[in-house]
Each structure stands twice: as structure tokens, then as C-alpha cells.
Amino acid sequence: MSRVTARIKSLYRSLPGSERKVADFILKNTEGVPFLSVYDVAGAVKVSVASVSRFVRGVGYPSFKDFKVELAKDVPAAVPEIFQAITPNDDDFEIVKKIFKGNVQSLEDTFKILNLTNLIKVSKQLCQAGRVVFFGIGSSGNVAKDAALRFSHLDIQSEAYTDPVYMVISAKRLKKGEAAVGISHSGRSSITVEALKVAGENNALTIGISNYMKSPLSKYSRYFFCTSFHENSVKVAAISSRIAQLCLIDALYLLAARHKETVWDIEDLNTLTEKLLRIEG
């Protein structure tokens, strides 16, 4: 999938009706659209030229001409969708193949829309933060716990909260110089959104990770990172998107480790952990 189409799909749910029609037409005609005028697209979709222009600006391009140029760059490298929905007729081998291919595609598409400059900037701020708190529920809560453990290895006070009451209380205790990371596949988990909002009101650094670019979570994120796993591909997208979430956390963690002036001796930490987990004798 091209960078342009990945971006369109990440914004799809937030588009109004007329602009969603434009998106549908473009996604079905990626090779032909670069050769069409804005009037051609408007006529084919049966919407106004203004609707096409709003769509283009909404997905991040100043004009239809600029949009066509970027789309044309992507078309030669475009490949067919390698992931299809799991169906009742699939055998066990087919299900396994689709899961792996879906996760591979999710990571590739996430990388295409990832703002690397912001990722590096955030990692530097996290390694200087007095405290980093991760929020999430469900499968995103498990990612939050994993993230807190990783950042603790860097001698950074890191915590994860998945219970609604504790999430709000912890968010209210955050302050300037500390950071909150909200993780939600839909970006609409009300408690995660509220926790990030409260943290921001207390001047803490707010970071959001969601599968939808214009989700409510993004509204309260000073820095927002979008994963790419398309809901219409498979009903368990919220579970599968965990792979992309973890990959983003890994990148932030390793970049923070690179930029942090002092970190714990990991080998010494591993040795201590081994002694705590195993009984000798």
C-alpha cells in the first residue's frame, strides 16, 4: 500500500459523507487519478469541486495538483493488498498466513505515515522526563504495561494504569516536566482520552497512539502517532494493531536509551532478576 492511500485509510472514518465518496473513488482508481482533473473527479463522484478540494486539504495536501503528484510517485511501487479478511471457509493454514501477512502489512503501512522527526523529538523528551505514565485499556492496556517496564529499565520512573479510577487519579497528579502516553486502537476509549486531557491541562507532555489520525485521542495529544491496521480487513483489528503499537513503543524506548546520558547496567539488572525468579538448591 502506498503512503498516500495509507494516510487516506487512517483518516477514512473521520471524513464527512461527500469526502468519503471521494476517498472511495480514489482508493479504487489510484493509477488513473493522477491523470484526472479536479473537475473529472468531482463529476465521477457526483460531488462539488469544493468537496474534492476539502478532501485533499484534509489528508494533508495544499492542492489537488500536489495530491496527484504524490499519488503518482507511489503508484509504480504500489502492490496489491496482501491481506484479506478471514472467512469461515479458511482452513487453519490460511488463517495463519493471513494473520502474518496482515501484521507485516500493518507495520509497513504504519512506517509510511510515521513522522520520524517527531518520534525522535519525543524520545529525547521522554528520557528527560521526571515521570512517564502510560494509559490504556484492554489489549492497549497490556501494551501500556509492557511500555512502562521497558522505560523502567532506563532508570526512568515509569508506570502503567489500566483501571479507570487509577487512570484519572494518576493523570491529575502529573505536572510539567512529566509525560503521559495514551494508547487506544480506536482513539475513542473515553477514559484514555479523558486521562490524556487531564494530563495536558496540568501541563504534562501528552503523547497519543491510535489507529485513526483524527480520533478524539489526537485532539489531546501534543504529539500523535498513528498506526495502520484497517478495520475492514479483519474483525480482530484491535488485537492485531498491538503489533504496530509495540513497534512504536520499541522505537521510542531504544531512541530514548540512545539519548539518555546514563542508564542502568542491563546485564546486572538481568542477573538480579534471575536470582529473584529462580530458587537455587
Domain ranges of the chain: 3-77, 111-268
The architecture CATH gives domain 111-268: 3-Layer(aba) Sandwich (3.40)
Task: Check whether 8 has a pLDDT greater than 90.
Answer: no
Q: Please name the amino acid found at residue 205.
A: L
Residue 160 pLDDT greater than 70, yes or no: yes
Q: What average pLDDT does range 84-96 have in this prediction?
A: 81
- According to CATH, the topology of domain 3-77 is Arc Repressor Mutant, subunit A (1.10.10)
Considering only the C-alpha atoms of the chain, give the largest distance between any 2 of them, rounded to a whole number of Å: 80
Place of cell 479507570: 164
Confidence of residue 207 (pLDDT cuts 50, 70, 90): very high
The reply to whether 3-77 and 111-268 are identical in fold is no
Query: 171-194, pLDDT tens digit by residue?
Result: 999 999 999 999 998 898 999 999
- What's the 3-state SS for 57-93? HHCCCCCHHHHHHHHHHHHHHCCCCCCCCCCCCCCHH
Least confidently predicted of 90-94, 103-107, 205-209, 277-281: 277-281
CA-closest candidate to residue 214, choices 191, 186, 192, 242: 186
Q: Is residue 185 within 8 Å of 143, Cβ to Cβ? A: no
Q: What tens digit of pLDDT does each residue of 67-81 get?
A: 888 887 765 444 444
